[in-house]
Amino acid sequence: MKRFAPSLTVLTLWILVLLVLCPGVALCRELGYRQYLAGFSQAPCPELELTLLASDFSNAHHASKLADGNVLIAEEGYIQWMIDVPEAGLYNISLMYLAAPGRGASMEQELLINGERPFAEARYLIFHRTFGDGGPTLKDSLGNEIRPAQVEYPMGRTQPLVDSRGYTQEPFLFYLPQGPSAIRLVAHQEPIVIERLLIGQVNQPSLYQKVKESWPSQETRGFLLKIQGEDALYRSHSTLFAISDTGDPTMEPYHPAQIRLNSIGGWRFNQPGQWITWEFTVPKSGLYTIAFKAKQNIRRGISSNRKVLMDGEVPFAELCAVEFPYSTRYYMKVLGHQNEPYLIYLTEGRHELTLEVVLGDQAALVQAVETSLYELNSIYRRIIMVISPDPDPLRDYQLAERIPEVLVHMAEQAALLHDLADHLEEGTQQRGGHMLTVRNLALQLESMAATPESIQVRLEEYRDNLSALGTWILQTMEQPLQIDYLLVASPDVELPEASPTLWQTVRHECSKLAASFTHDYSALGDRNPETSGERTIKVWIGTGRDQAQALKTIIEDSFTPQTGIRVDLELVNMNILLQATLAGRGPDVALGVDPSQPMNFGLREAVVDLTEFSDFPQIAVRFYPAALEPF
């Protein structure tokens, strides 16, 4: 060990010298899209369209050509095309693809041009699957609605390559030099079926006034169509299913106690790139208004943003990012500017409306805070190079003389964070707890820059605030939204009120109070009330209602028909299992029990040694060995 000590010391010294001279090297950042695009600011965007069939690939790995000419790329495989670009410039690249059978997750691809990744964001290109309800909504014997299973609908989609984080609203532009180039797609997560690659310019929507002039001024009258949010046609993730909201008497459908799947979205509908699609039909061509009964009651102080697409395209630029402000109640969001609703031209017949999660104006804010966090981490590293991660609180490290430039950077970052917080609060017209993290860090930076002798005492707090700022970035990127229904209406039709009246609220609260005495919220009703068995067992489950409902479905579909045993499944807090068992009112089977519970029963001699049964070895082979070893 002594032989390696000098080498280790020399290496450490070299690292310290490198950090002092080039602090940014400590955490090198790959070229981002904005920096990449700035390097080609003078490059043209040629009006050129190139179509590459998947079967025309020049090189591939873990890929197979299908009978229809498409190419299936397995996970960690790739496909490469050689293209001849007649004119150098910036081009959009789109992919026509189908989801291959896999684990049900979104497909993740990486793009390489001439063997190199053009910018960091090209490493994470996400392509979503398409899911939908696997059947109609059913009711159990207690009147509660049962959510249908989500199934995947394999269908072709065309998607431009975009930023999976949502920082960039427009499709990526890639610089292609004149002449031959190699374009490679690498599948990092889930297999994918590729039909073709499209290279050209993706049309960007024009402003509303310009688009409106191109539409026929054909007014419609007296038409109002309500599309329930839970009746969505397709969605990008299987988790975007219908949910129940019993807290508002204006919900449709409504019941004060029984479960009604009357909305969609919520906290699950919050990640950039997620989308939900509804279908509807209008009786005649003309101009219509579109509104949503929605609420965003999770992220106080910020708005949720959605891109609105009609039949797969954004009608005009203003619908690229529609803001849904924070509210504890549902409200009617009419697509429009200020008090003037947008009139959208729809042709007679069927249409599809899609809401896609985007960051909107918050994208630039989040990106700026992320850049600031990178600089603040660099400041932290410069500080601990002088005072160490565990400094002496009584020592004067003379930071003002040793690292004066770091103190200047602190003051600059404090001013930047204050400006960013002011900008967000001005845009949302709300001052909430969500911005306290940014404000607190800015105030701390100001104080530390003004009194550098206090830095060693506050270093741990500074480190914690940096961690909190990273969490703040992740939370700000979340854009939750819950939708009750959509409206497509003629301009002359008055839209219904979204907020409950005083009488509705009083009646709702009284009904909830009465139901608390009569309704068993822990019970799970039978999907098939006529199901019967030779005997009945009571089963308690300590997980969520969704898991319990899935188990109930399995019981009724297979267990009861095969064994003749009926199961009364109940949702119960497992903390009362021991007391209920000692009182003689426990269940026959308990699921979701904490591993420490058997110890509590054993201390009270309330367990049975299963190995004493002669058929235990035959029964034990049905379980994983780990299931029989709680500790």
The per-residue pLDDT for range 204-222, each reduced to its tens digit, is 999 999 999 999 989 899 9
Query: Range with the lowest mean pLDDT among 172-176, 260-264, 310-314, 434-438?
Result: 434-438
Per-range mean pLDDT, top range of 225-229, 553-557, 562-566, 568-572: 225-229
Condensed to tens digits (0 to 9), the pLDDT of residues 39-84 reads 999 999 999 899 999 999 999 999 999 989 999 999 999 999 999 9
Output the six-digit token pair for 292: 């949503």
pLDDT bracket for residue 404 (50, 70, 90): very high
Q: Cα Rg for the chain, rounded, in angstroms? A: 30
* pLDDT attached to residue 430: 67
How many alpha carbons fall within 13 Å on the CB side of residue 8? 5
- Check pLDDT > 80 for residue 427: no
pLDDT bracket for residue 8 (50, 70, 90): very low
What mean pLDDT do residues 467-489 have? 94
Which parts of 481-557 fold into alpha helices (H)?
A: 502-518, 545-554
Residue 117 dihedral angles phi and psi, to the nearest 5°? -80, 120
- Check pLDDT > 60 for residue 22: no
Output the six-digit token pair for 32: 């981002």
Output the six-digit token pair for 7: 């080498």
Condensed to tens digits (0 to 9), the pLDDT of residues 265-311 reads 999 999 999 999 999 999 999 999 999 999 999 988 788 999 999 99
Give residue for tokens 């009569």: 518
* pLDDT attached to residue 543: 85
Output the six-digit token pair for 270: 């919050």
The separation between CA 600 and the C-alpha centre of its own chain, rounded to angstroms, equals 40
Q: Tell me how far apart the terminal alpha carbons of the chain are, to the nearest angstrom.
A: 39
Query: Range with the lowest mean pLDDT among 64-68, 232-236, 348-352?
Result: 64-68
Condensed to tens digits (0 to 9), the pLDDT of residues 440-473 reads 999 999 999 999 999 999 999 999 999 999 999 9
**Are 442 and 418 a contacting pair, CB within 8 Å?**
yes
Query: Percent of the chain beyond pLDDT 90?
Result: 66
Per-range mean pLDDT, top range of 349-353, 420-424, 532-536, 598-602: 349-353
Residues 6+ apart with CB under 8 A from 240: 131, 232, 264, 265, 268, 269, 274, 276
Closest CA to 373 of 477, 470, 442, 471: 470
**Are 220 and 288 a contacting pair, CB within 8 Å?**
yes
pLDDT bracket for residue 432 (50, 70, 90): low
CA distances from 195 to 67, 72, 85, 235, 623 (A): 12, 9, 21, 22, 44
Task: Please report, to the nearest 10 degrees, the dihedral formed by the alpha carbons of residues 442, 444, 445, 449 taken in order.
Answer: 140
Distance CA 210, CA 318 (A): 12
Query: Percent of the chain beyond pLDDT 70?
Result: 93
CA distances from 214 to 217, 288, 348, 540 (A): 9, 15, 17, 63
Distance CA 136, CA 357 (A): 26
- Which helix (H) or strand (E) segment holds residue 565: the answer is strand 565-571
- Check pLDDT > 90 for residue 9: no
Distance CA 383, CA 375 (A): 12
* pLDDT attached to residue 18: 35
Q: Is the peptide bond before 587 cis (omega within 30 degrees of 0)?
A: no
pLDDT bracket for residue 28 (50, 70, 90): low
Condensed to tens digits (0 to 9), the pLDDT of residues 494-551 reads 999 999 999 999 999 999 899 888 887 777 777 766 655 568 899 999 888 888 888 8
Output the six-digit token pair for 388: 């160490």
* pLDDT attached to residue 278: 98
Residues 6+ apart with CB under 8 A from 391: 397, 456, 459
